[in-house]
Structure 1
Amino acid sequence: MQINEKSIVEKVRQLAEPIIKNLGFKLFDVEFKPERGWVLRVILDKDGGITVNDCEEVSKRLSALLDVEDIIPTSYILEVSSPGLTRELTKPEHYEFFKGRLIRLVLREALEGKRELKGYIVDVKEGILQLREKDSGKMFHTPLSIVARAHLEIEGW
């Protein structure tokens, strides 16, 4: 059986977004991938963080809707979770949501001689991340296309 992961992710995103928005949360990401069987992972966020009860409520509502819509042609496990304190940033809207927060970037190619940057998100526009380096205060204009990995950092630890 051929499974189109991207198509399933997009369909789940379309079904989940209204439910999640109605509950006052933000849809952070959707993943569908094989991990000892298929896993559908729906990741939520909101100001102040997501609770276990929040995940449970979304899981119940989304599970019922997915059963009715029957868009996934194989058995799977539904996981609803928060992205965690050191969440990975993978989309421009993630950077936008966390403006002002401290992040760590690993770059595919050096930018001004650096392959890693740690700094505060100033802005993101047209695929360019503006980052104020934590230690020096220097501004970097980093194309998102060269970011290999980006994570929020916890300050004060």
Structure 2
Amino acid sequence: MAYQNNYSYNQGGFNRGFGNNYQRRPNYNNGQMRDNGYQNSYNANNRGPAKKKSGATFKRCEDGTIVVSAWFVKARQLFSVYARPYKGTKEITSKSGKVWLNYFVTMTNKTTMQESKTSALFDAQGSRLYIKDFNIIATKGGRGGYCGTHIKK
């Protein structure tokens, strides 16, 4: 039988001469695993769940149009995105059968208060907004939506 010294790491716990009493155990809340919507991911300092870095909401107006409001954090700067149809918005059907709408987008850097205005494509069936000039996508996916860098498959 081989023994380790008193402060060595042993199967998920510390062996300090007291057997294996100091094992790491999952964090339970009333007998169930804690689910806070962030897949139990913790930041580097173990001070709680990781902070959310983006979000997007899609609201349907009374006239049937959809308005997109989103935000994201990049390089310690907060950006807000507001997209809406404009007077010249047209529906375009692609070869694959998707219906696209062109939207007017206002993107504001809340840290420096710089404002950029551009156009984007809105996928009406998939509820996705593509801002090609900045390579950004806003979707309903995830908890509270996602807005950030668009990565092609």
Structure having greater relative contact order (Cα 8 Å, sep ≥ 6): 1
TM-score of the two chains, using structure 1 as the length reference = 0.23
Normalized per residue, which structure has more strand?
2
Q: Which has the larger radius of gyration?
A: 2
Normalized per residue, which structure has more helix?
1
TM-score of the two chains, using structure 2 as the length reference = 0.23
